[in-house]
Amino acid sequence: MKRRRIATAAVLASLAVVGCTTGMQSQQPMSFFVTSVGKGNGADLGGLAGADAHCQALAKAAGSTYTKWHAYLSTQSTAWNDPNFVNARDRIGTGPWHNAKGVLIARNVDDLHAAGANLTKETLLDQNGQVVNGRTDKPNKHDILTGSRPDGTGHPGGYGDMTCGNWTKGGKEGAAMVGHHDRGSAFVSSWGTSWNSSHPTVGCDQESLRRTGGDGLFYCFAAN
C-alpha cells in the first residue's frame, strides 16, 4: 500500500510539472490583435498617432500590461524620390507576437512577412480573443487597413493614394491598401489571399470601406 501511494504521488508530481510547463507555453501575454472596432470615421484615423492611441486604448481595456502599441500602417511621401515615409514593418518592434489566446503569430518581423507565418482567420483575433468576421460572414469585415506592400513597406509617392492621405481622409476621395485577415478571396491569387496587401479601397469614408468588405479595422502590435 505504501509503495502504491509513493508511486501515485510521483505520477501526480510529474503531471503537475507537465501542466505547469504547458501552461507557461499557452499563457503568453497578448502582443498582437485586430481592432474590434475602427475609429468610426472611415480611414481617417488621426494619422499614425491617432491609430496608435486607438490600439493603446483597446489593449488597455482588454487588460494588457504592454505600454507601447503601434498600428501596422505605412505612410507615403509626396514624390517617388522623397524619403519621408514610414514602413509598417519598421514600427511594430521585434516580436515575438502572440494573440489574445496566447497563440504564436510570428517570431519576428521576417517571420511575420514569410509564407509560413501563422496568420489565419482563427489566429488573427481581436483584443478580446474574438474571431473577426471574414468574407463569408455578415457583415464582411475582412479588409484590414495597412497601406502596405506584401513585405510591409509603403508605396512610393506618386504611385496613387494608398493610405487615404496618410490616414487623415474620411471622405469619398482617396484610397487605402488593405489585406484580408481571413486569407479569403473570390480570386485564387497571392494578392487575394494576402493578409496585408490585397487591394485598394474605393474611397476613404466608412461607406466606401464597407463596399469592398471592410469596417476600418487595422492590426495592432506591442512594440515594447
What's the gap between Cα 50 and its chain centre? 16
CATH number of the domain to which 55 belongs? 3.10.100.10
Position 1 in a domain: no
**Distance, CA of 173 to CA of 69 (rounded, Å):** 29
Please state whether the predicted TM-score (pTM) of the whole model is above 0.75. yes
Position 218 in a domain: yes
- Residue 74, pLDDT above cutoff 50: yes
DSSP 89: G
Position 215 in a domain: yes
Q: How many independent structural domains does the chain possess?
A: 1
C-alpha cell at 115: 509564407
Find cell 515575438 and name the residue: 96
Question: For residue 32, is it left (φ>0), alpha (ψ between -120 and 50) or beta?
Answer: beta
Position 20 in a domain: no
- Residue 217, pLDDT above cutoff 90: yes
Position 94 in a domain: yes
Position 101 in a domain: yes
pLDDT digits (tens, 9 = 90+) for 90-127: 999 999 999 999 999 999 999 999 988 999 999 999 99
Position 75 in a domain: yes
Position 53 in a domain: yes
Residue numbers of the domain that contains 212: 30-222
Neighbours of 203 (CB within 10 A): 22
